[in-house]
Amino acid sequence: MNSNIMKIFILLSFFSGVFMIQAAKYQIIPIPQKLIPKNGSFKFNSKTVVLCDFNCPEEVRLAHQFVSQIQLVSGLNIPVLRNQQNLNARAIIFKLTTDSGAESYRLKVTPNFIQINAGAAAGIFYAMQTLYQLMPVEIYGNKLAHKVKWQVPCVEIVDAPRFAYRGLHLDVSRHFFSINFIKKYLDAMAIHKLNTFHWHLTDDQGWRIEIKKYPKLTQVGSIRAQTLEGYYFSNPQKFDGKPYGGFYTQDEAREIVAYAAQRFITVIPEIEMPGHSEAALASYPFLSCNNDTTIRVATNWGIFKDVFCPRDTTFRFLENVLTEIMDIFPSKFIHIGGDECPKDRWKSCSDCQQLIQKLDLKDENGLQSYFIHRIENFLNAHGRSIIGWDEILDGGLAPNATVMSWRGTAGGVEAANAGHNVIMTPVTSCYFDHYQGDPSTEPLAIGGFLPISQVYAYEPIAPELAANDKKYVLGSQANVWTEYMPNSRQVEYMVFPRLAALSEVLWSGKNQRNWNDFRGRLLTQFERYKQLDINYSKAFFNVSFQSQLTTDHQTQVFLSCDDPIAEIYYWISGKKFRYTHPIIVDKNMIINAQAFEKKIPVGKLLSKTFH
């Protein structure tokens, strides 16, 4: 390497190091599209004001929301004033512009002022979320924080989301959660810049939304006689013997819709059909094949053979239900499920077989396609569109349907190639009911393994998609099925911090993502979770064990930890060692290992036996 090249290399290394030191001040998740560090900081004091356009109600609402939170934690009483030129004050300026998208924003922080420019109120809201993350973590608290220096490092940020659909799902059928928790869930979505809440309201184990025309749906369908205890595959299975229920009134659901809208989150309701419908069939047996009065709200998990029978009376029922649902939820999309629908009852049902012949359908898959088409036509006639799980592809896809691809990416690719919009949510990357750490150290879960690093590595645009078809991928979401999440604290444990990883996948540019950088920023995110009383998983701090054979057939064990500042210590036969290189297993041994920060344990003490 010649001397000039060496000088350039040293200079670039120097500036890169300086940038990394400066960037350490900007612990933002998801990382913005463009961030230019600046020197200095904006300090809040008694002269600080917020300026906004009083002719824009949303701007005024957001301005008051911002100053209310500042006042709560700092005690500063910051006035909201009409935006005007040449005001001699330390101002935070909200301003709508016409040169950017609805969710994009520009944030400029100088020692004298903070300015937010956005194309719409949503952009201002997302800029506020970034501004909060530039402040001390106590901004997320709910009480006065003493001895905190309320300031923001100077910076220029230009930001916009990569995907239009950035979602989080919650199953409230298997386990029911309070209105207060749903609001907390939405608040957590907002700080991660997510914009779609997929609310799974009905299933075999409980119907959770009030339908005034059919009161038995909640009188009967919301209550199951008992609930499975322990793992589904246990033999014998055990049940708790306690009735379990709960549902949301229509007024409560409207309250959630309004609360979400204030955070620029759309609520998409899901009413499952034609499968996963035992709670509805138990309430109104005429909806089943053969008018089966023995069907009960399911007390177990899994897939059940009793499903909606595609008679005219069933469609009238579903249309009446969906009419009330549309009155509650203004979302463009209504999710109608469509997954895991066994055809056993249809095969033995004379009405179903006659309908197959009458419509000249190939088989029962064709009958399901007819079912989905008919529901889609009804919703389309009312200005709405359907989303369904990728099983709605079976037998032919409804003309205007959006496919939610969960059984991998093949369904999404097939739908996109046919010109249909797609939401990618493959089980391998987006199912937050899977284990995120060693199952022997984690609470009981449904199975599978999805560590946060695997979520972060996820790419929603499947490589096999043709260039012209990539535009049909609207985005992605995390799915939270609650068979093994009996309370809200367990939901939080399974969702966080994996949601932080997915939020960066969906918001930030693909080339911006860097696992090592992200895991450093995640340490600050954990402090925010503490302020918000979010029961996040600590699997990030646990040691992982990996083993492989060397060329001379010795077993070597590698230890690692996601925590970037942790040191790993391990014990063999009672002797303690600091981990610096792979461990050679030359005899049967038990290795105990744990991660430490500044000599203080941060992860669990884990043990593995090697032979």
Tokens coding 25 = 């001040």
Helix (H, G, I), strand (E, B) or coil at 518: helix
**Rounded-to-integer distance, Cα 58 and Cα 251, Å:** 23
Length of the chain counted residue by residue:
611
- Catalytically annotated residue among 192, 276, 335, 420: 276
- Catalytically annotated residue among 159, 171, 203, 390: 203
Specify whether the CB–CB gap between 77 and 106 falls below 8 A.
Answer: no
Could you tell me which of 197, 313, 200, 309 has the C-alpha nearest to residue 248?
200
Could you tell me which of 87, 187, 89 has the C-alpha nearest to residue 132?
187
Could you tell me which of 194, 330, 320 has the C-alpha nearest to residue 253?
330
**Rounded-to-integer distance, Cα 203 and Cα 127, Å:** 38
Task: Clarify whether 340 is annotated catalytic.
Answer: yes
Q: Exposed, middle or buried: residue 284 (CB in 10 Å: 0-12, 13-18, 19+)?
A: middle
**Rounded-to-integer distance, Cα 134 and Cα 144, Å:** 18
Alpha helices in 75-195 (DSSP H): 121-134, 179-191
Tokens coding 43 = 């300090």
Backbone Cα Rg of the chain: 27
Tokens coding 32 = 């913005």
DSSP 562: S
Phi-psi region of 36 (alpha: psi -120 to 50; beta: other; left: phi over 0): beta
**Rounded-to-integer distance, Cα 497 and Cα 514, Å:** 16
**Rounded-to-integer distance, Cα 179 and Cα 53, Å:** 33
Q: Exposed, middle or buried: residue 59 (CB in 10 Å: 0-12, 13-18, 19+)?
A: buried
Alpha helices in 144-249 (DSSP H): 179-191, 216-219
Task: Clarify whether 203 is annotated catalytic.
Answer: yes
Report strand pairing: 422-424 vs 105-109: unpaired
Contacts of 485 (CB under 8 A, 6+ apart): 174, 175, 433, 491, 494
How far separated are the first and last CA of the chain, in Å rounded? Answer: 48
The sign of the CA dihedral 317, 321, 322, 324 is positive
Write out the catalytic residue numbers: 203, 276, 340
